[in-house]
Amino acid sequence: MSGLKLVKELKLWLLGIAAGLIALHLHLTMRIGDNDLLGASVLFWIAVLSLLWKKRDRLNLESGIFSTFFGASLIILIFFKAIHLSSQDSFVRISPFISILGLSLVASGFKGLKQYWQELSILCFLAIAQGWLFQFDISELTAKFAAFVLWVLGFQVSRQGLLVSLPTGAIEVYAGCSGTGLMLQLVGFAFIFLVLFPTNSRQKILITFVAALLGFVVNGVRVALMAILVALSNQNAFDYWHKGDGSVIFSMISVMVFGLFCHIFILQKSNINRSNIA
């Protein structure tokens, strides 16, 4: 009976520390003003908590002295680093992974880390800063696609390298606007989906490809829109869609479209196949 009480108390302590770490991470994300990272973080944390909740009764909560000390040190490091946070977001991206790693070591030790491989793998995507996954620059490809979108819409457009020009204005597509950030974000959501739902090899490849392609296409449309706004000399609207809340809207659209794709072409199709087999 005392053993069960000890386990319950340990779970409550771990739950409290986890809640504090999650709240701290979201607060730091809001403080640096990275809206894309904030939206992604919320979804990633929901996925991690969902996985942990499903297997809460099957977790082996046994840890050694060294594992507990090392895990606690990582958690303390998170709180210490948060006090001295700079304007850079690299620590904010990697802190969720370090947090869950520290909690896992305190709860289950090094031998029990394999119980949390899904959660740790998911949070690895937040630890990957923009450009780490895509070591090549796709800015010119984005410029070509944006020019193609404008041409399809009937605009008199020309392109030279990274410069997309309309008769009354032009924009230059830098690496930060190339779409790698949104592509990486959607690939991360794809990984969450693959962890949460059973899929075959073909579906895994399809989902990952669609996520990356959708991120590229949506960002290309956004770049085309900004070219139109520059041509119209509408600086306020340009700033809104470039760095303001408008950029978040495009991220939300891409996430919604990707979720709809997964629901219609993966989940519903899988349910239909299971029904036919039954």
Residue 190, both tokens: 């794809």
Which residues does the chain have with pLDDT short of 70? 1-8, 86-89, 129-136, 244, 269-278
* Residue reference for tokens 């977001």: 89
Q: Can you give the pTM of this predicted structure?
A: 0.78
pLDDT for res 1: 43
pLDDT for res 278: 47
Q: How far apart are alpha carbons 225 and 270 in whole angstroms?
A: 37
pLDDT for res 260: 92
E strand intervals along the chain: 158-160, 163-166, 169-172
DSSP letter for 262, please: I
Q: How far apart are alpha carbons 69 and 130 in whole angstroms?
A: 32
154, exposed or middle or buried, with CB in 10 Å at 0-12, 13-18, 19+? exposed
What is the residue extent of each domain of the chain?
2-127, 139-277
pLDDT for res 130: 52
Side chain identity, residue 6: L
pLDDT for res 276: 52
Name 265's Cβ contacts closer than 8 Å, sequence gap at least 6. 206
Of 70, 50, 54, 81, nearest to 113 (Cα)?
A: 70
Give yes or no for a contact between 78 and 70, defined as CB atoms under 8 angstroms apart: no
Q: Please write the tens of the pLDDT for every residue from 211-253.
A: 999 999 999 999 999 899 888 888 888 887 777 677 778 888 8
Of 97, 101, 272, 107, nearest to 188 (Cα)?
A: 97
Q: How far apart are alpha carbons 197 and 51 in whole angstroms?
A: 11
pLDDT for res 101: 94
Give the three-class secondary structure for 34: coil
